[in-house]
């Protein structure tokens, strides 16, 4: 699928890196099969450039940041604001600089993450997803990054699908022997969908028993192209929002950037890392393992088709955007399932 993404995805923002990972040296990332280098100039300006020097095509991510800009490691060509070439060592002072530059892409920094967009400047709306920008300042308690061997659609479905948790995370998230009737109501939005799960005040797994309390609501969000969030509102007035941002490197590799935001509850970051993180890490590793098995088997059976029921309601909307196809399921966005 390399190079064959739905053209619509290029108009959207994807997380390329954690802010803490970009320091004095440029870093190499790949988004939608496009090799990029991220660099923070000494002026503080953040750049996302195509990872090649236009002179002899050497990767700029192997260069260094100087007082003037990003310097190519081969001949020292230097690129400044917007990727413009500002220096060619060895060129006579009176000579004109070449009218070339490193191709630049839109880039933003927000909530500890660096976001990029591959569409050309000014052709699309410039806002990050509202489920990100609406998060209260200072509520983030956790930020983590990993990579899954998975196609983006399968990775998104995994996070938004509660029905796998009884088997992939038995006892941790839910128990298969303690299911209860839940109503799932999906509502389409201008940029994705929202699913409200009604009738599940508590969960059967150890994570709930150790760290949660009775809930008022549980809601899942999906925003084009790769941002998701699970929101838990509790009877004591606290709110927990777990956000996962999915960025395709290729058809078989998806980077995952996770944050946890907590409101109205005493939950220092150090305590979460000490007590909660070992459980969350286990859940993430179980998902990564299952998705890797799925990817391997899709290569073994490249012509296989998915079978779906009304329980797979989120998949149809994810596929509609990413693949420009739609799974045919019974009409109606409200279903009953046993969680």
Instruction: Tell me: pLDDT of 78 over 70.
Output: yes
Q: Is 270 helix (H, G, I), strand (E, B) or coil?
A: helix
Within 10 Å of residue 67's Cβ, how many Cβ atoms? 8
Average pLDDT of the chain, as a whole number: 93
Residue 213's contacts (CB-CB under 8 Å, 6 or more residues apart) are: 234, 235, 236, 238
Band of residue 314 on the pLDDT scale cut at 50, 70, 90: very high
Return the pLDDT at 90: 92
| Residue pLDDT, tens place only, 32-75 | 999 999 999 999 999 999 999 999 999 999 999 999 999 999 99
- Domains delineated in the chain: 7-117 (2.102.10.10), 133-338 (3.90.380.10)
Instruction: Tell me: pLDDT of 328 over 80.
Output: no
Average pLDDT over residues 226-253: 97
| Residue pLDDT, tens place only, 132-170 | 999 998 999 989 999 999 999 999 999 999 999 999 999
Return the pLDDT at 2: 47
Q: Is 271 helix (H, G, I), strand (E, B) or coil?
A: helix
Band of residue 326 on the pLDDT scale cut at 50, 70, 90: confident
Q: How far apart are CA 28 and CA 42, in angstroms?
A: 18
Average pLDDT over residues 266-277: 92
The answer to whether 162 and 197 are in contact (CB under 8 A) is yes
Q: What is the 8-class DSSP label of residue 84?
A: B
Instruction: Tell me: pLDDT of 98 over 90.
Output: no
| Residue pLDDT, tens place only, 2-25 | 458 988 899 999 999 999 999 999
- 222, with CB counted inside 10 A (0-12, 13-18, 19+), is buried
Q: What's the whole-model pTM score?
A: 0.94
């Amino acid at each position: 699928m390399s190079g064959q993404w739905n053209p619509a995805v290029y108009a959207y923002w994807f997380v390329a890196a954690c802010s803490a990972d970009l320091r004095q040296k440029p870093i190499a990332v790949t988004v939608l099969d496009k090799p990029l280098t991220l660099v923070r100039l000494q002026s503080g300006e953040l750049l996302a450039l195509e990872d090649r020097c236009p002179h002899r095509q050497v990767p700029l991510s192997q260069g260094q940041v100087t007082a003037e800009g990003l310097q190519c490691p081969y001949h020292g060509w230097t690129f400044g604001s917007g990727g413009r070439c500002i220096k060619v060592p060895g060129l006579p002072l009176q000579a004109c600089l070449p009218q070339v530059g490193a191709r630049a892409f839109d880039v933003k920094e927000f909530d500890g993450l660096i976001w990029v967009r591959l569409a050309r400047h000014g052709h699309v709306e410039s806002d990050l997803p509202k489920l990100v920008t609406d998060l209260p300042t200072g509520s983030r308690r956790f930020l983590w990054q990993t990579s899954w061997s998975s196609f983006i659609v399968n990775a998104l479905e995994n996070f938004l699908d509660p029905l796998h948790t009884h088997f992939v995370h038995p006892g941790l998230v839910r128990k298969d022997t303690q299911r209860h009737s839940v109503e799932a109501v999906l509502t389409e939005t201008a940029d994705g969908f929202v699913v409200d799960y009604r009738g599940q005040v508590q969960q059967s797994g150890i994570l709930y028993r150790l760290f949660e309390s009775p809930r008022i609501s549980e809601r899942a969000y999906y925003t084009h192209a790769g941002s998701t969030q699970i929101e838990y509102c509790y009877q004591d007035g606290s709110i927990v929002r777990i956000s996962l941002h999915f960025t395709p490197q290729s058809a078989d590799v998806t980077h995952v950037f996770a944050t946890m935001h907590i409101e109205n509850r005493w939950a220092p970051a150090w305590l979460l890392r000490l007590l909660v993180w070992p459980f969350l890490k286990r859940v993430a590793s179980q998902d990564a393992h299952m998705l890797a098995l799925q990817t391997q088997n899709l290569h073994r059976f490249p012509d296989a088709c998915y079978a779906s029921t009304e329980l797979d309601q989120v998949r149809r909307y994810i596929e509609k955007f990413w693949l420009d196809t739609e799974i045919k399921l019974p009409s109606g966005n409200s279903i009953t399932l046993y969680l």
